[in-house]
Amino acid sequence: IEKNHYAAELARVTVWIGEIQWMLQHGFSLSKNPILKPINSIEQRDAVVNADGSEPDWPTADVIIGNPPFLGGSKKRGLLGDDYFAALETIYDGRVPAGADLVCYWFEKARAQIETGKARAAGLVSTNSIRGGSNRKVLDQICQTTRIFNAWSDEPWVNDGAAVRVSLIGFGETKTPPVLNGERVAVIYADLTAGSSEIKMDVTTAKQLNENAGVAFIGTQKSGDFDIAGELARQWLIKSNPHGKPNSDVVRPWANGADITRRPNDTWVIDFGVGMTETNGALYEFPFQHVIKNVKQVIEEKIVNWQAQNKNTQHLSRQYQTWWQLWCARPDMRAALDGLPRYICTPRVAKHRLFIWLDKIILPDSATVAIARADDTTFGILHSRFHQLWSLKMGTSLGATPRYTPTTTFETFPFPIGLTPADTASHAIEILESGAIIPNVAIEYRAHTIAIAEAAHQLNQLRDHWLNPPEWIEKVPEIVAGYPDRIIAKPDYATQLKQRTLTNLYNKQPAWLVNAHWQLDQAVAAAYGWSTELNEAAILQQLLQLNLARLES
């Protein structure tokens, strides 16, 4: 089945050439009337949605083989159109998550063919992100109704000239022993990892825990030129407005993933919040004028251009209704962060799983995950070896780089008893003599709370000192109150300071950093009641058992 007319014809020609070559090589005479026989088995049509919006049938076959199109879940509506997107949601409701990549529909169709006896097996290619997140649901269903018998979990691939990482997956009713990445294994799980005959550890059975809900959030998404340079922001901060309110109401420092993995680049964002009307927004003269020019007019021009090209503009029209606001303003995240002096932030995609503190005034971007806690104990648990291993196992990836998710990673992670997000939900905190901040928890967990917080606070202090050596920098108060100080490199150290990034630090792994993390891991292990000598497999098995036990309770 091939939607593109040219590709369908090319496939027929390829089969014809192959047949002629095979017949000549094996001593058979060529067909002469006709020379080329019709190949009706190659059908030119859509494989997952009919023109009328219904689900297409696939022909009965022994084996299904394909290289379905690679298209990320967030891009489906924009590139395929609202009608096609709605048809996918309707047809595959309950079978494929709406946010899944396009390739997942081929996996589900192939699984259904096998389940109904219309095929014996299938072999398909997808991006390696199928191993996690909403994409993995189709592999979960495959493992429930049949089995994966062969897979290469993470291989290089070139798609439209771009290098990507892919998974090659064979599944179905065969007696072939399971082989993963060229090695024979006992079983292949839905996340394309292997299980042994001795240890059953299918982390895909882990589920989101209610005790972790409403704490971790993907940051705001702009969908327009709302960001401005710090220099311009500071000019606006001292300008007056007709209603007498300051521009600091709607102009904030902004942080994306690169600000965490590299160094902050002094980018600010115009943020009219969640409920501010267009009329009230206009009272902030300079920020509002910037958004008119760089967001509103851009959307208007794009709508006109798309209409001229007969493109679907429903998505743009919805954006235009509240053009002065960020596209995804994250009201739930804002409510969770409200009242906190600081919060934990981590890049969604990064080589190293890094957590940092951000001041309450800084607005997180969608390339980050914001965690609504201000205590060092939660920070320490997240930065421990235990959470790092869990995040690598439960997260997805972008190419070969791990990706952190609020749902499959954070919300499934079983914190130590008494120190879960539910236990720290009051946001009541205590500042210790060392400066470490602990949450208010039950007295029987206080010793572990303090030990983790002290180790985490020490780790953070050491890192901050390495990132910004006092003799290299000057801390300059912001032009108006309520913002964190700016860190400015002294002239003789500007070049060296640029190299002081968390990525470079964790690439080097100096002894002091290793020791600080070891101290933290000791404290977190004690809170779990575990030995510090557990290997990675044992840690994951223990965490999975905790997750499943809490689901049952």
Give alpha helix (H) positions in 419-471: 446-467
Judge contact between 170 and 106, C-beta under 8 A. Answer: no
How confident is the model over 252-292, as pLDDT tens digits?
999 999 999 999 999 999 999 998 999 999 999 999 999 99
Residue 549, pLDDT above cutoff 60: yes
- Read off the pLDDT band of 111 (50, 70, 90): very high
Q: 10 Å Cβ neighbour count for 442?
A: 11
Angle formed by the axes of helices 385-394 and 511-528, nearest 10°: 90
Please give the Cα distance from 26 to 14 (Å, whole number): 18
Instruction: For residue 463, give every residue at least 6 positions away whose Cβ sits within 8 Å of its Cβ, in sequence order, or none.
Output: 502, 505, 513
DSSP 3-state assignment of 439?
strand
DSSP state of 128: G
How many residues are given for the chain? 553
The residue that leads in pLDDT, 355 or 33, is: 355
Chain segment 427-461, per-residue pLDDT in tens:
899 999 999 999 999 999 999 999 999 999 999 99
pLDDT, position 234: 96
**Per-residue confidence (pLDDT) for residue 99, from 0 to 100:** 86
What's the pLDDT at 199?
54
pLDDT confidence band for 553 (50 / 70 / 90): confident
pLDDT at residue 294 in the model: 96
Per-residue pLDDT reduced to its tens digit, 369-394: 999 999 999 999 999 999 999 999 88
Average pLDDT for residues 312-328, to the nearest whole number? Answer: 91
pTM for the full model? Answer: 0.78
Report the C-alpha gap between 217 and 240 in whole angstroms.
34
pLDDT at 225 over 90: yes
Instruction: Give domain limits for the chain.
Output: 1-45, 46-205, 374-553
- Residue 81: pLDDT over 90: no
Separation of alpha carbons 332 and 487, rounded Å: 31
According to the model, what pLDDT value does residue 311 have?
84
Query: In the structure encoding, which two tokens stand for residue 55, read together?
Result: 């689900």
Q: Find, among 67, 77, 62, the residue nearest to 47 by Cα.
A: 67
| pLDDT of 6 | 87
Please report which confidence band the pLDDT of residue 200 belongs to, taking 50, 70 and 90 as the band edges: low
339: DSSP letter: T
Distance CA 337, CA 249 (A): 17
